[in-house]
């Protein structure tokens, strides 16, 4: 659906050139939830805003459904923006208008619907985001989570195919964040809407996204399925973002900090696995058929979106030959192993 090719953006600040994006290549499929994560100043907002040309790239192309939008004239851009909704960290609501009027606003400005048809659409959207009882309130009377629900309803008013989320939960507490993420997931499933979001929180990516790209210094430094990137982060920025989100993974990625090294007798191995195998006694079977003994030093069973995963830090004691056989059995069962020491 979206193809970004060699995208670059340079800002001119006081006669100096600041490079915000440098040679970005990405593909985002229809119906997927794609996350872009990075530290402050990495280029996330510039990249997201290039998708609806709120930011004009300096080089490269953005293709949506095969059409290069960077060459669109005003009229085509106007039509494109109606197919792309956007929500913001600070909600950007019209404070002097009620919830219903905020949601009605884009319809009033751009659609050819009658007042009655618009009212019907607003009622539908209010129900979708769970705010039917708050239609007559003003933004100042709402909680942060409710304000973001209004933002989502407003973004969906013109039935877009693509929703851009700019740090949509960064201003919310953890519980409200979860409820907004659940709403976005529900909307993605019910409406088949493609969602592209930017965040600096790995937790948001883990909960919501199918795939992720890590951006640093205006370049994509790592990308892939969320489970792969989360469980096997390669770039230092990715490792640090995973570590901030999940201390257990951090400890397993860098076990030197996790426990007393002088107590180690055998081979230190990190196992990772995803999917149904998480709930099967495969490890028990493999070890029961071997003379190799194991000690669990650390472990975690959790989920990424709805995909269960496990990771274990084990010390294996046995002959090299027997340990190799255990590794071969792990491979056979798609349990990834990584010898750490």
Ligand X SMILES: Nc1ncnc2c1ncn2[C@@H]1O[C@H](COP(=O)(O)OP(=O)(O)OP(=O)(O)O)[C@@H](O)[C@H]1O
Residues 26 and 187: beta-carbon distance below 8 Å? no
Helix-strand-coil split of the chain, %, nearest 5? 40, 30, 30
Task: Please choose, from the candidates 195, 266, 170, 219, the residue with its C-alpha nearest in 3D space to the C-alpha of residue 38.
Answer: 219
| Smallest separation (angstroms) from ligand X to the CB of 164 | 13
Comparison of 46 and 102: residue with beta carbon closer to ligand X: 46
Phi and psi at 172, nearest 5°, equal -110, 155
What SS3 class is residue 85?
strand
Q: How far is the CB of 214 from ligand X (least distance, A)?
A: 11
Binding site for ligand X (CB under 6 A): 11, 13, 18, 20, 38, 40-46, 200
Please tell me the total number of residues recorded for the chain in this structure.
Answer: 341
CB 144 within 8 A of CB 93: no
Q: Which of residues 20 and 84 has its CB atom nearest to ligand X in the complex?
A: 20
From the CB of 312, what's the least distance to ligand X, in Å?
34
Please say which residue, 92 or 141, places its beta carbon nearer to ligand X: 92
Q: Shortest approach of ligand X to residue 42 CB, angstroms?
A: 4
Q: Is the sign of the CA dihedral 96, 100, 106, 107 positive or negative?
A: negative
308, 301 contact by CB (below 8 A): yes
Looking at the Cβ atoms of 20 and 150, the one nearer to ligand X is: 20
CA gap 94, 109 in Å, rounded: 14
Would you say 40 or 284 has its CB closer to ligand X?
40
Residue placing its CB nearer to ligand X in the complex, 44 or 206 = 44
Minimum CB–partner distance for residue 88 and ligand X (Å): 11
Distances (CA, A) of 80 to 69, 162, 189: 8, 10, 22
Strand order in the sheet with 2-13: 16-28, 2-13, 59-64, 67-68
Helix or strand (DSSP H, E) at 268: strand 267-274
- The nearer residue to ligand X, 157 or 208, going by C-beta atoms, is 208
Q: Least distance to ligand X from the beta carbon of 44, Å?
A: 4
In whole angstroms, the minimum distance from the beta carbon of 4 to ligand X comes to 14
């Amino acid at each position: 659906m979206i193809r970004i090719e060699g995208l670059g953006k340079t800002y001119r600040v006081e006669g100096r050139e600041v490079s915000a994006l440098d040679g970005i290549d990405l593909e985002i499929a229809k119906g997927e939830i794609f996350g872009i994560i990075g530290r402050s100043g990495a280029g996330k907002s510039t990249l997201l805003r290039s998708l609806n040309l709120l930011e004009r790239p300096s080089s490269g192309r953005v293709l949506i459904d095969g059409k290069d939008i960077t060459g669109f004239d005003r009229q085509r851009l106007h039509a494109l923006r109606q197919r792309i909704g956007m929500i913001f960290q600070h909600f950007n609501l019209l404070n002097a208008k009620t919830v219903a009027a905020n949601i009605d606003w884009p319809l009033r400005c751009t659609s050819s619907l009658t007042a009655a048809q618009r009212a019907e659409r607003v009622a539908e959207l209010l129900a979708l985001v769970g705010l039917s009882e708050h239609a007559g309130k003003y933004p100042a009377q709402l909680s942060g989570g409710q304000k973001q629900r209004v933002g989502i309803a407003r973004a969906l008013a013109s039935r877009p195919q693509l929703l851009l989320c700019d740090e949509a939960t960064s201003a919310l507490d953890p519980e409200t964040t979860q409820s907004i993420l659940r709403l976005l997931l529900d909307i993605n499933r019910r409406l088949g809407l493609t969602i592209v979001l930017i965040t600096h929180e790995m937790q948001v990516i883990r909960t919501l996204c199918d795939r992720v790209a890590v951006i640093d210094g205006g370049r994509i430094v790592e990308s892939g399925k969320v489970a792969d990137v989360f469980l096997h982060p390669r770039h230092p920025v990715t490792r640090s973002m995973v570590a901030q989100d999940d201390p257990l993974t951090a400890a397993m990625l860098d076990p030197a900090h996790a426990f007393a090294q002088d107590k180690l007798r055998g081979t230190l191995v990190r196992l990772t696995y995803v999917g149904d195998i998480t709930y099967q006694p495969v490890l028990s079977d493999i070890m029961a058929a071997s003379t190799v003994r194991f000690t669990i030093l650390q472990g975690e069973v959790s989920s990424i979106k709805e995909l269960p995963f496990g990771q274990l830090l084990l010390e294996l004691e046995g002959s090299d030959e027997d340990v190799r056989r255990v590794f071969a059995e792990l491979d056979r069962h798609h349990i990834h192993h990584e010898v750490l020491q």
